[in-house]
Every structure is written in C-alpha cells, then in structure tokens.
Amino acid sequence: MGLILSSFTAALAQWSDARFRRVVVIAVALTLALLIALYALMLGAIQWFIPDTTTLPILGPVGGLDTLLSIGSILLMLAASVFLMVPVASAFTGLFLEDVVDAVEDRHFPTLPPARAQTFAEGLIGAVNFFGIALVANILALFLWPFAGPLVPVLFWSLNGYLLGREYFTLVSQRRIGRGEAKALWRANRARIWGAGILMAAPLSIPLVNLLIPVFGVATFTHLFHRLNHR
C-alpha cells in the first residue's frame, strides 16, 4: 500500500507542471462536452416525445410534464455520469497518454532514454477498445447491482479498479518494455496494481471530482511502473 500511496502522492504533486495541467484541462473540457451533448440529446428526446399538456385518468389535463421530466433528467444525468465517467473520461485520457507520461518521466526520470512513441492511431484504437470494454463491463454489472445491496460501491470500485489498473499499467509499461513484458509484469504484480486501480475508481464515483482522476491515474501508474520495474 505504501508504494501505491507514494505513487499517487507523486502524481498529485505533478499539478505544478504546466504541461500536466494543460492535459488535465483538455481532458476535462472534452469529457464535459460529451456529457453535455448526451444530456442535450436526452432533453431533446423528452421534449419531442412528451407533450407539454396531457390528460391523465381521474386527474384530467395535466401541464408541464415535459418541464418536470426535463428537471428530472438533470438528476438522471448526474447519476449516469458516475457510471459513464469510467469509459468516457478514460477514453479521452487515452488520447493524451503520451503527454501525461512524458511530463512525469521528464520531471522524475530525466535520465531515461526516449520511449517508443505511440502514434495517434494507436492511441485512438486503444482508447476505443478500452471504452468498449469498460462500457460493456459496467452495463453487465448493472444486472448484479439489484442483488448487491449496500455492496454496490464495492462492486463498482472492484470492477473498474481491475479494468483501470490493467489497462493503464499495460499502456504505460508497453512504451518501455513492450506489450508482452508489460503483461508479464502486470501478472506478477496484479494484486498491487488492482489496489492502485481501486484507488482511482473510488473517486470516479464522485461527480465533478471524477473529471480529474483519469489523468492523475495515468501519472500514478507511470510512477508505479518505474518503481516495480526496478525493484
């Protein structure tokens, strides 16, 4: 646990780096833009299908239903953002992974030789793949939540901690040691990496705070990789 916390603390300290802050701002802006677009689509669908005035049994004509449902849709989007944030924000972060890792390595590991640069196409493919895996996994988990009761947060954190840990660690590691060796290093340290993933997943369940976590997650796993790879 000490190795995980020290890696996370070092990632938080990276905030003083202007390059790092730039990636955070861009990732947050893109994530907000997508969530706003999803909300606009939901609001438009409500106003299209629900008339302003409708007639209900016994009550008779009732007005303002579209407005009432629109207000409810805000609460729905806030709740949905908790579950959408893992695939959405992480997908965007994948596009800027190189910038985050380079900023961390330049500051904390300046003597390292240049890593194999990830092309934009590779970053896009990786982001799309992780988005799909995380989205499908969380949708499937929805069917288990009614039976989980108070353990729902534990299920959410455990599932997404595993996904985040495996994906982030592999993406960061393969720049230095190749995908095969990165997977082997992950298998040898999977429990510790899963724990670091849970540390990332828990704040992702907090609206607004979750916008910042994916970039800090990449930075954390960069530190974790270098410390595990040189033990």
Q: Torsion angle, CA of 4/5/7/13, rounded to 10 degrees?
A: 160
Query: Does residue 226 surpass a pLDDT of 80?
Result: yes
Question: Whole-number mean pLDDT of the chain?
Answer: 76
In this predicted model, what pLDDT tens digit does every residue of 23-58 receive, in sequence order?
A: 888 878 877 777 777 666 666 665 666 555 444 344
| C-alpha dist (Å) from residue 142 to 74, 77, 231 | 20, 16, 39
Contact 89, 210 (CB under 8 A): yes
Top pLDDT among 160 and 207 is at 160
End-to-end CA distance of the chain: 15
Average pLDDT in the 203-224 region?
83
What share of the chain has pLDDT > 70, as a percent? 70
Distance (Å) of CA 50 to CA 39, 46, 86, 168: 16, 6, 31, 43
How do the domains of the chain map onto residue ranges? 2-18+84-229
Q: Which residue has the higher pLDDT, 218 or 122?
A: 218
**What is the structure's pLDDT at 5?**
87
Q: What percent of the chain has pLDDT over 90?
A: 13
Distance CA 208, CA 32 (A): 9
Q: Across residues 193-210, what is the average pLDDT?
A: 84
Say yes or no to pLDDT of 107 above 70: yes
Neighbours of 148 (CB within 10 A): 13
Q: Helices 190-204 and 213-229: crossing angle, nearest 10°?
A: 170
pLDDT, one tens digit per residue, over 60-85 is: 343 444 444 445 555 666 666 666 66
Report, as an integer, the average pLDDT of 176-196.
Answer: 90
Predicted pLDDT of residue 222: 93
- CA pair distance 75, 175, nearest whole angstrom: 41
The reported pLDDT for the residue numbered 196 is: 92
Task: Give CA–CA dist 134/154, Å, rounded.
Answer: 16
pLDDT digits (tens, 9 = 90+) for 123-152: 667 667 777 777 777 777 777 777 777 888
pLDDT digits (tens, 9 = 90+) for 145-164: 777 778 888 888 898 889 88
Q: Enter the pTM of the model.
A: 0.77
Does residue 189 carry a pLDDT above 90?
Answer: yes
**φ and ψ of 27, to 5 deg:** -60, -45
pLDDT of residue 225: 94
CA 49 to chain centre: 32
Say what the pLDDT of residue 223 is. 93
pLDDT recorded at residue 65: 44
pLDDT above 90: residue 89? no
